[in-house]
Structure 1
Amino acid sequence: MNMTYFSYHTHSSFCDGKENPEDYVKEGIKKGMRAIGFSSHAPLSVAVVWAMKASNLNAYIREINQLKEQYKDELDVYLSLELDYIPGISKDFSEWSRMAGLDYTIGSVHLVKAEKEDDFWFIDGPDTNYSEGLERLFQGDIQKAVSAYYHQVIEMIETQKPDVIGHIDKIKMNNKGRFFSEEEAWYVELLHKTLDAVEKSGSIVEVNTRGVYKKKSQKLFPGDYFLMECCKRGIPITISTDAHQPKELLEHFEECRKSLKQIGFEQITVFHKGEWIKESI
């Protein structure tokens, strides 16, 4: 099977995306995509503007399943959720999968749990969220804050076993070299601890292009060092554009594929007829 175009991480108007799911499907067909997976941010008990409302979950499931059937002869449509992991707060991924009938799960961390039970470090969004949360919740201690992020990611991998791990090093996005260097020994050690957890889990690492094409990051999520280690260890990867608009469905896809080949990857993992399979990159 020759590698074609796909993306399994897509946000529609059911969460913080801009258009209805069918608009993405139609654009995907125009772009010659083989598959599109919808992955709205799952409802959270924490009040955030970017997650799906619990009251809309059933409508979301119905609509994606309807599109699956309606467009089955033109491209594969899959039902997923991007599931945030917050220890002691978020619902188990297996429960989401069973309840919603998901084809696969994407696990991510956007809200880092601090010592205060009811407050979180939001690592996405504007730079000011990052710096303000760092000061307020971690007293400006970047090593403590970033360690909390990776330990939460590791706990998610070990306890929730997501099929795909979303933008695993997104913690770097709003750093922009201000608070730490990715070459510092303590940071590299955290990457290796995370890699150890991924390797044991069998989860797939998503190579997410959104930071690059939105000009929020100079490097992919994850960056070159992490990807080189994935290649050495035989950790499976897939490409995601994390589209929030139909026009973003294949943004930076080809550039990403070329970068992965340069790193040394020969195969990529794709979802096909209910299972993850390897194909040539």
Structure 2
Amino acid sequence: MIFSNYHTHTKYCDGKNTVEEMVLSAIRAGLKRIGLSGHMTLPFPNDWTIREEHLENYLQDITDAQKAYGDQIQIYTGLEIDYFPYLDDISEQSKSILHRLDYYICSLHCVDFFPNSSEMGYYDGDYDNFERVLEELYQRDPKRLVEDYYHRYARMAQKIKPDILGHLDLIKKHNHQYHFFDEESDWYRDLVMETLREIQRSGSILEINTGKIHQFGMAGLYPSLWIVNEVINLKIPITVNGDSHDIDHICDGYNTVARYLKLNGCRKIMVFEKDQWIEMPL
């Protein structure tokens, strides 16, 4: 079984609930470990990450929750930190806070700034933003966009080597509705496999992210099932996370995912225990 979730968000970023409410929800769900992983402050204006002036409050709320509920559940301090392709790095502010965290997730959300603008284009933004990415940054060449995404993800794994790599195939988010590339094509599968080999070399943990299962069933899993099978074959260490933005989705799909992993040869996942990552039987 799966009794942990290291990918959660609160009101401090784009979540709907407080740190305490998320912890209590995890306790009710029977989890033994929860990590808070708010979206780290970005060095440009946005409406979905922790504001710089709220960062200390976020960290203090986790400390308070540890004191209040630490006898019922293990509570860990984390952040979801962005890799910026235009920097080939995470931000200096992110680097300065790593020593205060138990772990962190590194993810690729940001494409680049739009031409002559301070506005950022995102791989997973709303559709209007994504349309602008395709039009203004990629001249409506979706294959080049997808290739860039995976090359950048591989570079992120290679250079940053975080505890956890977040939602590998996030680039497919808009494909559910708009089908801008074929996920069954040979070029796409080759690209994913190249990226998986870089992840394998990095030593980082790859998350199996259930955040969209409540909307799309197993088709909403990040990464897609065929990729999960390849991850298992390559023996890349994995953890299962909910990418939970509210108390109602603290561990969506966990039982289904656990069954799938076992049926396909995965017997262990990684969990954070006290101060280190260890293997835990499913």
| Range into which the TM-score falls when normalised by the shorter chain | over 0.9
Pair 1:164–1:77, CA change in 2 (3 A): same
* Residue 173 (structure 1) aligns with: 173
Q: Is the 8 A contact 2:82 2:107 kept in 1?
A: yes
Deviations 1:78-134 (A, max 9, x none): 000000110317415543312xx1000100011113785855431224333323321
In structure 2, what is the Cα distance between the partners aligned to 1:15 and 1:81?
11
* Residue 64 (structure 1) aligns with: 62
What is the aligned-residue identity percentage?
Answer: 34
The 3-state SS of whatever aligns with 2:168 is coil
In structure 2, what is the Cα distance between the partners aligned to 1:128 and 1:178?
15
In structure 1, what is the Cα distance between the partners aligned to 2:227 and 2:114?
28
* Residue 47 (structure 1) aligns with: 45
Shift of 1:217: 7.6
* Residue 11 (structure 1) aligns with: 9
Shift of 1:4: 4.6
Name the aligned partner's letter for residue 107 of structure 1.
Answer: C
Name the aligned partner's letter for residue 18 of structure 2.
Answer: N
Q: Is the 8 A contact 1:33 1:75 kept in 2?
A: yes
- TM-score, L = length of structure 1: 0.92
Deviations 1:121-154 (A, max 9, x none): 3122433332332122101101111111112211
Pair 1:249–1:56, CA change in 2 (3 A): same
* Residue 148 (structure 2) aligns with: 148
Name the aligned partner's letter for residue 172 of structure 1.
Answer: K
In structure 2, what is the Cα distance between the partners aligned to 1:227 and 1:135?
31
Q: Is the 8 A contact 1:112 1:152 kept in 2?
A: no
The 3-state SS of whatever aligns with 1:151 is helix
Pair 1:216–1:173, CA change in 2 (3 A): farther
In structure 1, what is the Cα distance between the partners aligned to 2:64 and 2:113?
40
* Residue 250 (structure 1) aligns with: 251
* Residue 215 (structure 1) aligns with: 216
- Deviating more after overlay: 151-160 vs 87-96: 87-96
Q: Is the 8 A contact 1:241 1:248 kept in 2?
A: yes
In structure 2, what is the Cα distance between the partners aligned to 1:230 and 1:183?
17
In structure 2, what is the Cα distance between the partners aligned to 1:142 and 1:10?
30
* Residue 187 (structure 2) aligns with: 186
Q: Is the 8 A contact 2:114 2:136 kept in 1?
A: no
Equivalent residue for 1:73, pick from 56, 71, 74: 71
In structure 1, what is the Cα distance between the partners aligned to 2:109 and 2:237?
23
Structure 1, gaps ≥5 residues long: none
In structure 1, what is the Cα distance between the partners aligned to 2:246 and 2:179?
30
* Residue 136 (structure 1) aligns with: 136
How many pairs were matched up? Answer: 277
CA RMSD of aligned residues (A): 1.9
